[in-house]
Amino acid sequence: MTTITANNSWVYRPMIESDYTFWMECWKDYPLSPEVGTFTYDERLKWFSARITQNETGTDASIKSGYAMPNNQPLIRTYISVNPAGVAVGIRVYSFEVSGEAWVRADIIHPTHRGNGYFTDHKILAVGLMREWNITTIKGWVENDPTFSTIGLVKTKLGNLGMTVSASAKNSSDVALNSAGSSVSLDNLSITIVQCESLKSGDSGWADVTFTVS
């Protein structure tokens, strides 16, 4: 599977089985989950197992060449952002349903590493992967009023670059409820790779960074 290495020592790699503890810790306090409260241990375990299986299903070459979803079954990839100290800090889950498009299905920074500005690094690092996979548009559903403040800040930053935001586009489903067991208002976000490149080129720490694919 594809790994992206930046020359500033950030790495973007597929999640593997040894990331189990990191995964479990990341989602323990995630604000949206099935039923009431946050994700239970069993729910996190089942989700991890599914994501490992999906990472081993299909080929990255099919994404790059223009994946056309058969039988309503998208390819799904889960990636880990690793900082220059070699520490895993973030997780992102993608699904591929239409050629040239990537849906961000989940996105989080580990509780220990929140507040360090890593969410912007986490997003810009993905530019290397989107280039390699010939992705031209990235889409996702995000809380209208994000629980994690950093997501709200990055949402504003991307909006200033021209990202399309459909306010209150829908309410979350039964698999994404708040701690009271109620659905929340979600925005539909859509950003082009050109706008992502603008985020990279406008960031002093990333503007001149190059990526290696392996």
Domain count, the chain: 1
Residue-number span of the structural domain to which 48 is assigned = 4-213
What pLDDT, in 10s, does the model give residues 38-94?
Answer: 899 999 999 999 999 999 999 999 899 987 666 778 899 999 999 999 999 999 999
Look at the pTM and tell me if it is higher than 0.85: yes
Cβ atoms < 10 Å from Cβ of 194:
11
Q: What is the CATH number of the domain that holds 84?
A: 3.40.630.30
**3-state secondary structure at position 197:** helix
Residue 134 Cα to chain centre, angstroms: 17
Instruction: Let me know: does 3 contact 14? Beta carbons within 8 Å.
Output: yes
Residue 37 CA to residue 55 CA, distance in Å, equals 28
Residues 6+ apart with CB under 8 A from 148: 31, 108, 109, 114
Residue 41 CA to residue 203 CA, distance in Å, equals 38
What pLDDT, in 10s, does the model give residues 119-172?
Answer: 999 999 999 999 999 999 999 988 888 888 888 888 888 888 888 888 667 888
**Pick from 84, 89, 158, 156: which is nearest to 127 by CA?**
158
Residue 34 CA to residue 44 CA, distance in Å, equals 11
